[in-house]
Amino acid sequence: MEENEDSEIIEHHVNEEMEKKGFTTRHTHLFLESVTLSEREGYSTQSSHRLLAYSDALISIIATVMILPVAHTQFQDDQELKESLQHLLTTKVAVYLMTFLIVSVAWAAHIRLFQVIERIDDCLALLNLACMMLITFLPYTFSLMATFPENILGILLFCTCVIVIGLIQAVIVMYGFSHPFLLNDQIQISENQGFYKRHILKVILRVPVFCFIAIIFSFIFFPLSYVLLAFVTFLPYISQSLKWCRNKAIGQMEETPDSMLFYSYHPNEPLSKERVEAFSDGVYAIVATLLILDICEDNVPDPAVVQRRFNSSLIEALQEFGPEFLAYFGSFATVGLLWFVHHSLFLHVTRTTRLMGLLNTFSLAFVGGLPLAYELTHEFPRNSRNELEAIQISCVIIFFAGVFQLAIWVAALFSERETLHPYVRYGGRDHAFMFAKLALYPCVALGTFFVTCALSRFSAPVFHLMQMAVPVAFLLLRLLVRLGLALLRRLFCPTPPATHSALEEEDLRLPFSDLAT
Amino acid sequence: MEENEDSEIIEHHVNEEMEKKGFTTRHTHLFLESVTLSEREGYSTQSSHRLLAYSDALISIIATVMILPVAHTQFQDDQELKESLQHLLTTKVAVYLMTFLIVSVAWAAHIRLFQVIERIDDCLALLNLACMMLITFLPYTFSLMATFPENILGILLFCTCVIVIGLIQAVIVMYGFSHPFLLNDQIQISENQGFYKRHILKVILRVPVFCFIAIIFSFIFFPLSYVLLAFVTFLPYISQSLKWCRNKAIGQMEETPDSMLFYSYHPNEPLSKERVEAFSDGVYAIVATLLILDICEDNVPDPAVVQRRFNSSLIEALQEFGPEFLAYFGSFATVGLLWFVHHSLFLHVTRTTRLMGLLNTFSLAFVGGLPLAYELTHEFPRNSRNELEAIQISCVIIFFAGVFQLAIWVAALFSERETLHPYVRYGGRDHAFMFAKLALYPCVALGTFFVTCALSRFSAPVFHLMQMAVPVAFLLLRLLVRLGLALLRRLFCPTPPATHSALEEEDLRLPFSDLAT
């Protein structure tokens, strides 16, 4: 079996590397060879791609789960929407948003972990599954905390989960560093692997330690443990913004030292673009189909009821559910088109930074609220005050979902050389078109909001008209942008096109491979 | 802007191809250039990867949706499980299985379509979203049919959806062939594009035509339209198995003519392996989290109830839900480990055939039933006859889910040169290990089934013991297989290793690139 080993380039590489380090490492290597022979054969070069895709799918489902209790809240018709909304806003929406945040923090930690460990074997795959199981349990512990804020059981469960997740991740790191061929190539050839290992373990174990302190405090004075947990959750963002402010104040270059390349919490630290896309796809897919889950379960009428109430006329019985089907198609189309915008944007993104990831999370959190908003629009009688408010809430949610997508692009434009394809950079060929694509939904939502304010009697028709107009607008968008640009050029400046194309050429001369890395 | 065009290799290629065909085509080309300039710039070489991943996510969610009405059926405690099961089996389980089949047929058609059209632009992305919206509506029309079998409305809705989907797909094909740079490279350089186009359109439009006939028959004699629909759904499988039988009978070589490379319904026709994986990942992810969706929504106790019934003791209140948490972790672990087996198998699959895809669909359909089975195991009082039967049903479902995974591998072994990595082929290095991995769940499920038959009083402990033992077994599997093989070798044959390794060497000499295509 020995002759097969040469075919595996990575192992070969590791062997070379090992040989440099002299006898001690060599001895360890031989030891490893005997113990972990099984893992090093065949599976050693196993790419982690599919494991990560599956993890992304699980995490995106869990992130959006907590919208279900919000969406299934029953509204009393006689009650004013505002009142029930206040009730909603205080607990369920807060739980949803916090869950989304916590799960996406866990997801970001998962990304960073598997940017260090690039290849997996069976053992790591099983450990990762155990980790996933605990992450999927977090939303439940969180809703326990929200429902029983004075009971420490919620805190205990949450902290226990987080501690166990942290320990499993530490085991994964230890395992990875004891089988160096699983690691990122850059770390694999680095001289100070031990330093990396300590640094990564320190960052990972920081969170369990905080949670352990929170558990102790929960027995003494529990409000303090909430403060501690909030601090842990926002830790990356706090340290990140503090660093950014300090750097801006001192005017220091944001040069990452070699040791801080991983687990640095820099706003410009790269997040795997592939995984950001996979996570977003998962959220968009779940959200788009949330309403059909309900429809398939609840909106098939009972044969007995149809016979009794509708004289066996199924069409009449289904007409009762008409608004719900409309809500489904409306929400699917909106979520689908927001996905389309996201897809178009990320097609031209070459590298995702942490800041872009954060803005993406905010956008997705609003997208998750869409089915709820659409369901609200048909819960209330026509032309009631409630209906108007439900429609306006939908507009606000669409507006924010779209605006945060636009913000991703704006954030990318600040460091466009590293993050964007030349076409959509400032002055690039598709710059105006991309802007139009990203601005379409926020503009339409804002317009609909103000029109419904002015024409409150026709709010529902205006809203449905908007729903039908937007897909057409997307189909014709390139044409419209060309017309608009031509018009602008003719009105204001007949000469600029020359400098414009010069800029474009300069951008296009940049080698593409340079951008992809 | 003309100078940028050379950078796009594919277009350049198309231009060359076009030039060969003389003036008429050239004229068309110039015409296209003027009309569709917008689509041919920048977006022309846009890969369809992410669009397909999103479609796969949507379709996998929809395929598993119909398990929810099954899982949420309330069982009366006094009622025997058998009785309620009969009620379930007749409608809801049938609806679930049929939906799964129909959706996976639609998915297979979607794969084939986008194996022909390999690149997309904005217009195709929007058309595909419209197509997806209609596919997600299919399960609902199907459950209408099952609930009101005598009412033609269900048939009408279903057929209308299928016809519109077919028409949109036809538009996508027409659009693709009018922008040849979007097509599969093989078709792009082919001389008889027109023939391909007609063949593909014929296959796609066959289904809407059948549905149109079914609509007409539904007004005259509706049972006939059900027969027609069943025929359409199974059409690919029927024609496939007929062809296979005929080929075997005549002894003819299964040589695919050039014209039949796409849309041929051959059992050996390749399905995109990437998409089979993405679809499976989606199903496994949804199924693994189905129970937590319920738990997050239903199992947070009401503060008022806790105060009244449990003297404000949250722990006592949660103990009521204990079995449900156990069911969640059990189901997550089982689904996760089945995913792990699937992942290990597809790591060594180099090419997926239609037959393997079909077996994979069957396996996934059983996986979808797992949460239901696990939920059943805690619905009934301890040591009741119902509990025993629920546990046995779980075993049967796990058994079939595992056996169909094993069948994928067996099917792959029949044409192992094209479909499998040398390691897991007959006589390959990891052949025995892969077999052990695939056989573990079926064996354990079968064992548990018979043990619970014999020791019916201890069925629950036996089942829970099995749940805890399996992950450990997976961790130690490689070791166990080595021990077992060594034992077998020592017992039966001390010489074979020589011929064994000779076989292996021969396999390994095969160039890898050869296998990947």
pLDDT digits (tens, 9 = 90+) for B211-266: 888 888 888 887 888 888 888 777 767 776 777 777 777 765 544 444 444 555 55
Q: What percent of chain A has pLDDT over 90?
A: 10
**Contact call for A68 and B153, based on CB within 8 A:** no
Q: Count CB atoms within 10 A of the CB of residue A173.
A: 21
A122, A39 Cβ separation under 8 angstroms: yes
Give the Cα separation of B185 and B194 in Å (integer). 15
Question: What pLDDT sits at residue A77?
Answer: 53
pLDDT, one tens digit per residue, over B412-460 is: 888 877 778 777 777 777 788 888 889 999 999 999 999 888 887 788 8
Assess whether pLDDT exceeds 90 at residue A402.
Answer: yes
Range in A124-133, A258-267, A398-407, B17-26 the model is least confident about: B17-26
Per-residue confidence (pLDDT) for residue A320, from 0 to 100: 77
pLDDT in tens, B323-373: 778 888 888 889 999 999 999 888 888 888 888 888 998 999 999 888 877
3-state DSSP: chain B helix, strand, coil percent, rounded to 5? 80, 0, 15
Contact residues, chain A, for B337 at CB < 8 Å = 129
The answer to whether the beta carbons of residues B277 and A57 sit under 8 Å apart is no
**DSSP for A231-266, written as a single string:** HHHHHHHHHHHHHHHHHHHHT---PPPGGGSSS---
Closest chain A C-alpha to B241 CA, distance in angstroms: 32
pLDDT of residue A271: 75
Mutate to test the interface with A, among B46, B50, B312, B335 (most CBs of A within 10 A): B50
Amino acid at A80: E
**How would DSSP label each residue in A281-331?**
HHHHHHHHHHHHHHHHHH-S--HHHHHHHSTT-HHHHHHTTHHHHHHHHHH
Question: Stretch B188-202: mean pLDDT, rounded?
Answer: 82
pLDDT of residue A62: 87
Instruction: Say whether B140 and A295 touch across the interface (CB within 8 A).
Output: yes
Does A104 have pLDDT greater than 90? no
Per CB-CB distance under 8 Å, the chain B contacts of A476 are: none
ipTM, interface predicted TM-score of the complex: 0.78
d(CA B465, CA B471): 11
Give, in order, the Cα–Cα distances in Å from B147 to each of A306, B71, B225: 11, 17, 17
What's the whole-number average pLDDT of chain A? Answer: 76
* A-B contacts (CB, under 8 Å): 205
Give the one of A61, A277, A343 whose C-beta lies nearest to B286's C-beta: A61
Task: Please tell me the distance from the alpha carbon of residue B336 to that of residue B341, in angstroms, as a whole number.
Answer: 9
Sheet strands (E) in B95-163: none
pLDDT confidence bin for A108, thresholds 50/70/90:
confident
Of B61, B277, B281, which has the smallest distance from its Cβ to A289's Cβ? B61
Q: Which of residues 37-76 of A touch B (CB under 8 A)?
A: 38, 41-42, 46, 50-51, 53-54, 57-58, 61-62, 65-66, 68-69, 72
A55-75 residue pLDDT tens = 988 888 888 887 777 767 665
Q: Using CB atoms, pick whichever of B57, B314, B429 lies closest to residue A285.
A: B57
pLDDT for res A251? 62
Rg (CA), chain B: 27
Degrees, nearest 5: CA angle B232-B368-A285: 80
pLDDT given for residue A35 in this prediction? 32
Q: How confident is the model at residue A515 (pLDDT cuts 50, 70, 90)?
A: very low
Task: Give the helix/strand (H/E) hosting B301.
Answer: none
Q: Looking at beta carbons, which pairs linking A189-195 to residues 24 or more positions away fall under 8 Å?
A: A189/A13, A189/A17, A192/A259, A195/A259
Asked if residue A499 has pLDDT above 70, the reply is no
Write down the mean pLDDT value for chain B. 76
Contact B97, B139 (CB under 8 A): no
